[in-house]
Chain A
Amino acid sequence: MRVYGRFGRIIALSATAGLLAAAAGCSGSDSTEDGDRKTFVFGASDDPKTLDPAYVSDGESFRVIFQVYETLVALKPGTTEVVPSLATDWTVSDDGLTYTFNLAKGVTFHDGEAFNATAVCYNFDRWYNFKGAQQNGDISYYWQTIFGGFATRDSDSAPESSRYASCEATEDSVATLRLTQPSSALLSGLVLPAFSIASPKAIEEGGTDITVTGDSIAYSGGFGTKVVAGTGPFKFVSWDRGERLILDANENYREGRPQLDQVIFRPIADATARMQALQAGEIDAYEGVAAADIEAVKNVGQVVERPAFNVGYVGMNQKVPLLQNRKIREAIAYALNREGLLKAAYPEGAEVANQFLPPSQWGYNSAITGYSYDPERARQLVAESGETNLTVEFWYPANVSRPYMPNPQAVYESFAADLEKVGFTVVPKTVPWTPDYLQSIQADGKGQLFLLGWSGDYADPDNFVGTFFRETTAQFNLTDPGIQGLLNRALAETDQATRQKQYEEVNQLIFDYIPGVPFVHNRPLLALGKNVVGYQPSPVSLEYFKIVNIEG
């Protein structure tokens, strides 16, 4: 029976952990704290799903994977600049179809296997040859985003073609990647933890079985849950789900052993509880500091902010007759007290948004001002609209915290009260964030009014406005030749200056159309203990623990 098998595995796991600990030269009592060991405890909001990099796209999994594995190319800490990593340098053919990576030498995986071009290509081939359930959009999201499809197409939802042609170990330390069509996003994409290079032996031995039943994904393979081996600064020791995940310093890390001796991820779902754990000294850092907790955190540690590279908005589905009336949309824009909400419930760095693009992104139209809070005007517009039935569904996600929306329910309550004040009847609708909410809003277009937002993946205006409006999406259901035509032209445009103008223009068009009301560009906050140094916030939330240290 299963229970016995599980018991056996626990013992096996413990034994493995013990061996690893012994191998690392970690002697002494198991549970007593060694005063000399520098431990960094990160209060995560949840367990990783799995540590198989190719299967995940969520922040908590990425955070751990980012410390254990490395990618061919990486980001300069705190920026979006691509720098060498496992590939010391690379060349791109003129046609943009061939990438030749020169790999770092003398690197070994945590399991002792040698890192070389064969290992790199093993990983690429594995991804390209994903089958069946592995082609599920939730599982291989980033492969599909960057490379497109697979060797065989097993799922209707998988992209039809693939940009990937082949990977060849031309020399022991030279890997050649060939594409079927050029991609300017390739190098930026390869920094994502999803393209981490793992030990082929670990993958083979652990197994990568996966079964998908509806919403539920079972990572039944041992790779990523029990067997984990990358080349990163920290290596996997043990994982006690719900309790802690332990990483130890990699003594043989190619850049030299990290300053920290061990890193521990402690899952605490509730932000207040994480703050309390920080106060009690149980953890050294956490993500998602509530605005109300800033002072309390500052009393015991530090608050650092990530750059604002996001937007939160109230979307309006054009499928809904009431929302097809521009007067109504304008009334809503005037009715929402965005400034009041931000001042009351967001950290100081949060800015009121008036377009779907963050100010730091080129293409932002600084000439746009307007739709300031004016309930009188809103009421007047409602009266002018001629609409009599002012009942509207307002969707918000339950139990989730997003970078642009730390507490969706509070945002909902505040805006709903604003809307009711000017005469709307608001019907609350809420479902859990993943997968139900995204599905309902983005795929099924069930939303009428809805709360949503976007954190930028890369620095291009199309990543924001293009994603929303270039095509007619289920969430907005916007069909407007003016906006859509301009967005398509801007994407094809090669002249940077022209593009910038086009996006500034399109932002004005969107502002006038009001397919939704952007309300915030937030700066997500991280809390750090007093003695934590070297933590470098990243605009794309990928932060290196190898440069972190505990002082004193």
Chain B
Amino acid sequence: MSTPEQVAATRPTGGDEAIGSPRPTRGLRSDALRRLRRNPMAVVGFTLILIFVGVAVFAPWIAPYSPKDNSWLSEVRPGAYPGPSAEHWLGIDPLGRDVFSRLVYGARQSLLIGVVSLAVGATVGVGIGLLAGAFGGWVDTVVMRLVDIMLSVPGLLFAIAIAAMLGQSLTSVMIAIAVVNIPIFARLLRGEMLGQRAADYVLAARSLGISRAGIVFRHVLPNSFTPVIVQGTLTLALAIVEAAGLAFLGLSGSDPSAPEWGRMLTDAQVALTSAPQLALYPGLAIVLAALGFTLLGESLREALDPKLRR
């Protein structure tokens, strides 16, 4: 550890009174956007996401072959899998299929898992958080206790338990990941709403006689969504990685031929010594896609967090 010249050297402009007074929300949003554009992390993240989503959406046009087409089986010998060529950009897998096409279609699966599990988890979680935050009182107590209990099981384990219970299918993977996300979103939204409820503008609205529901839906909820979006972005990344972990444990879609990154990565371990590239491609794909969402999410968080603003 360095012995710094002066510990307070990284303080911002010395507690000067000139900086740091409350800003209106609208300003904060556009301000955040501006900061986001300047942040290279955000730009890289956004680019990765664009590529990922683009590949997923346009997979049939990008991939030269069907992901299950094993027409090139005769070119394969044990431990010797043809490498990149003009016809097969990333070579052929041990079962005579085009690796590039499988990778491209794999983006679809990953995106599907990520988006569906996020959508379900976030919707239910936000709903629960809303319930607790809006009603308060015993509803809040009961709901939050439940959330605490759900959070007392480590996330991956929770997902494993649910996927194992539901059996081997893509749906059960998505449900498993979604369920893990529910308490996270519930707690997040409820915390936000509690904070917002005490905010000046809410007190003002209440003093103007606007109903509780009105306040919640017109004021509190929209203002609570920023952290939900941040969390959502990060959750997408986690979903992709978690799906890979579940696939490793044999908890993934029922069709082993389906091009799914986690499964491709797991299956490639068999030939890790003779053909490490087969593991590397899906591995990198998972890392890059997840990294894209993580980078964007973290930049968003930093851009939107007034405390971290420098």
Known A413-B256, A428-B255, A428-B256: A418·B273 in contact at CB below 8 Å:
no
Q: A201-209, A268-276, A487-495: which lies at the B interface? A: A268-276
Option from B79, B267, B272, B275 in Cβ contact (under 8 Å) with A291: B79
Q: Is B70 an interface residue (CB 8 A)?
A: yes
In the assembled complex, the Cα of A399 lies from the Cα of B168 at a distance in Å of: 14
Interface flags for B60-90 (1: CB within 8 Å of A; 0: not) read: 0000000011100110111100000000000
Least CB distance, B86 to chain A, in whole angstroms? 22
Option from B73, B267, B273 in Cβ contact (under 8 Å) with A275: B273
In the assembled complex, the Cα of A271 lies from the Cα of B273 at a distance in Å of: 12
Least CB distance, A92 to chain B, in whole angstroms? 47
Q: Is A430 an interface residue (CB 8 A)?
A: yes
Option from B94, B97, B255, B275 in Cβ contact (under 8 Å) with A345: B94
Taking CB atoms, residues of chain A closer than 8 Å to B73 are 337, 340-341, 343-344, 414
Known pairs A270-B269, A344-B77, A398-B250. 4 more at Cβ < 8 A? Answer: A271-B270, A293-B273, A414-B95, A416-B257
**Chain B residue nearest in CB terms to A413:** B257
Least CB distance, B248 to chain A, in whole angstroms? 11
In the assembled complex, the Cα of A367 lies from the Cα of B221 at a distance in Å of: 79
Least CB distance, A402 to chain B, in whole angstroms? 15
**Chain B residue nearest in CB terms to A418:** B70
Q: Is A410 an interface residue (CB 8 A)?
A: yes
Interface size class of A (residues with CB under 8 A): 35 or more
Q: Is A149 an interface residue (CB 8 A)?
A: no
Least CB distance, A22 to chain B, in whole angstroms? 42
Option from B68, B76, B270 in Cβ contact (under 8 Å) with A417: B68
Q: Is B96 an interface residue (CB 8 A)?
A: yes
Q: Is B254 an interface residue (CB 8 A)?
A: yes
Beta-carbon contact of B270 and A295 below 8 Å: no
In the assembled complex, the Cα of A410 lies from the Cα of B273 at a distance in Å of: 18
In the assembled complex, the Cα of A414 lies from the Cα of B267 at a distance in Å of: 14
Beta-carbon contact of A345 and B274 below 8 Å: no
Nearest 3 interchain pairs by C-beta: A291-B78, A292-B79, A344-B76
Taking CB atoms, residues of chain B closer than 8 Å to A340 are 73-74, 96
Interface flags for B241-267 (1: CB within 8 Å of A; 0: not) read: 000000000100011110000000001
Option from A272, A341, A412, A416 in Cβ contact (under 8 Å) with B270: A272
Q: Is A259 an interface residue (CB 8 A)?
A: no
Least CB distance, B255 to chain A, in whole angstroms? 5
Interface of A toward B, CB cutoff 8 Å: 270-272, 275-276, 290-296, 337, 340-341, 343-347, 398-399, 407, 409-410, 412-414, 416-418, 420, 428-430
In the assembled complex, the Cα of A271 lies from the Cα of B69 at a distance in Å of: 27
Residues of B224-255 whose CB lies within 8 A of A? 250, 254-255
Sample of 7 A–B contacts (CB below 8 Å): A271-B270, A272-B270, A293-B274, A345-B95, A410-B94, A413-B95, A414-B70
Beta-carbon contact of B79 and A296 below 8 Å: yes
Least CB distance, B264 to chain A, in whole angstroms? 12
Option from B78, B96, B274 in Cβ contact (under 8 Å) with A346: B78
Known A292-B270, A428-B254: A347·B78 in contact at CB below 8 Å:
yes
Among A292, A340, A416, A430: residue with most chain B CB under 10 A: A292
Taking CB atoms, residues of chain B closer than 8 Å to A296 are 79, 273-274
Q: Is B271 an interface residue (CB 8 A)?
A: yes
Option from A271, A347, A413, A430 in Cβ contact (under 8 Å) with B168: A430
Interface size class of B (residues with CB under 8 A): 20 to 34
**Chain A residue nearest in CB terms to B69:** A417
Least CB distance, B251 to chain A, in whole angstroms? 11
In the assembled complex, the Cα of A340 lies from the Cα of B94 at a distance in Å of: 11
Taking CB atoms, residues of chain B closer than 8 Å to A409 are 256, 267
Beta-carbon contact of B95 and A417 below 8 Å: yes
Taking CB atoms, residues of chain A closer than 8 Å to B257 are 413, 416-417, 428
In the assembled complex, the Cα of A114 lies from the Cα of B19 at a distance in Å of: 94
Beta-carbon contact of B95 and A272 below 8 Å: no
In the assembled complex, the Cα of A272 lies from the Cα of B74 at a distance in Å of: 24
In the assembled complex, the Cα of A293 lies from the Cα of B250 at a distance in Å of: 23
Beta-carbon contact of B270 and A290 below 8 Å: yes
Beta-carbon contact of A420 and B68 below 8 Å: yes
Taking CB atoms, residues of chain B closer than 8 Å to A272 are 269-273
Taking CB atoms, residues of chain B closer than 8 Å to A410 are 94-95
In the assembled complex, the Cα of A272 lies from the Cα of B76 at a distance in Å of: 19
**Chain A residue nearest in CB terms to B97:** A417
Known A293-B274, A399-B250, A413-B95: A344·B69 in contact at CB below 8 Å:
no
Taking CB atoms, residues of chain A closer than 8 Å to B272 are 272
Least CB distance, A407 to chain B, in whole angstroms? 7
Among B74, B78, B96, B267: residue with most chain A CB under 10 A: B78
Beta-carbon contact of A412 and B256 below 8 Å: yes
Beta-carbon contact of A344 and B96 below 8 Å: yes
Among B69, B95, B267, B269: residue with most chain A CB under 10 A: B95
Taking CB atoms, residues of chain B closer than 8 Å to A344 are 73-74, 76-78, 94-96
Least CB distance, B36 to chain A, in whole angstroms? 44
Least CB distance, B137 to chain A, in whole angstroms? 43
In the assembled complex, the Cα of A276 lies from the Cα of B271 at a distance in Å of: 11
In the assembled complex, the Cα of A321 lies from the Cα of B293 at a distance in Å of: 50
Taking CB atoms, residues of chain A closer than 8 Å to B76 are 343-345
Known A294-B78, A428-B254: A407·B270 in contact at CB below 8 Å:
yes
**Chain B residue nearest in CB terms to A416:** B257
